[in-house]
Amino acid sequence: MWSQWRPRVRFIAGVLILFAALFLGVSFSLRSNDIILYDIETLPGEKSLSTASNANVWSPIYDLTLTGLTFTPNVFASHAQRVALADTSSQTLVIIDLQRKNFVQLPTIPDHIFTALTFTDTDELVAFANGLWRYDADEQTWHALTPELILPAPVTHLATFAGHYYLFGENLVRKVTMDEDKFVALDDWLTTSDWSFTPISVCIDGYIYVSTATGVTRLVRGQLDRWSADGEIFGHQYLSDTDQFLFSLVPAQESLLTIDKATGHIAATLTDKTLLTSRFLWQDADTGSFYTLVGQQIYSYTPSENN
């Protein structure tokens, strides 16, 4: 009897052993693949390199609609965490304190139209409106710093350095020399006639950096300097700087570039799709945070050791 069933029992046992082997093999294979997958992507609790490189590091921190005003800023000025944003067509001007998250709307300059703004080192707002005007926050009014200044082109950008003011426009750089708050002279600072330009953004540290549609140019003593940033940088550029670095926000490249002033070498590039429609660039020197305007939102980015 047993001799008749022995072959069948052996066959069934062989089949069971075969299924068991296949099951264990598949299980081992799946676990091995899982381990390999972890090795390729990331270990639990860590960010993969691809995720980190594509992460949105710019964050919205203030919505301009909170002001209750309808305006499209086309000029700005900043000092620390205060930024003045203005629409020159409607003559709407607000100062926003990004630390306290509040704002104040400033009055217009009587019988004048302002076209450019800057903050002084002492945190006073100065505007150009056929001359220089300083805003008195205590009196909530504007005071003329200079007489009316006759210029060959409209002033679109205003900057201050070492107590003096610099006016920029199409093919225009004028220096307004001041003795404290007293007007001394208006001079044509640009001595070269070999350069035609329309400024998009400017920075001054002794040198003058001017961004145009064709790139960033450095000027010294009224002349073009033999300096250029590495690589091809195309499109509008908005500038900010520290003693060592020039920062260039390039919306067309969705990038914030860190440029070594001494060499022109691009030391770092931060890419973020948020920057595609950004305007303006400013930095808080105390915190190192950068700010830009995207639509009606102010965005910020604070560098760290990880980005």
pTM for the complete prediction?
Answer: 0.81
- Write out pLDDT tens, residues 96-131: 999 999 999 999 999 999 999 999 999 999 999 999
In this structure, what token pair is assigned to residue 249? 């926000």
- C-alpha 102/C-alpha 62 separation (Å) is 9
Q: How confident is the model at residue 42 (pLDDT cuts 50, 70, 90)?
A: very low
Is residue 189 helix, strand or coil?
coil
pLDDT at 26 over 90: no
Please tell me the predicted confidence (pLDDT) of residue 130: 97
Question: What number is the average pLDDT over the span 42-49?
Answer: 29
* Number of residues assigned to the chain: 307
Please tell me the predicted confidence (pLDDT) of residue 112: 97
Question: What number is the average pLDDT over the span 282-288?
Answer: 93
Please tell me the predicted confidence (pLDDT) of residue 214: 83
- β-bridge partners, 131: none
Give the Cα-Cα-Cα angle 110, 113, 116 (nearest 5 degrees): 125
Element (H, E) at 49: helix 49-53
Exposed/middle/buried for 136, CB within 10 Å: 0-12, 13-18, 19+? exposed
- Write out pLDDT tens, residues 195-232: 899 999 999 999 999 999 888 999 999 999 999 888 77
- C-alpha 156/C-alpha 172 separation (Å) is 10
Please tell me the predicted confidence (pLDDT) of residue 237: 94
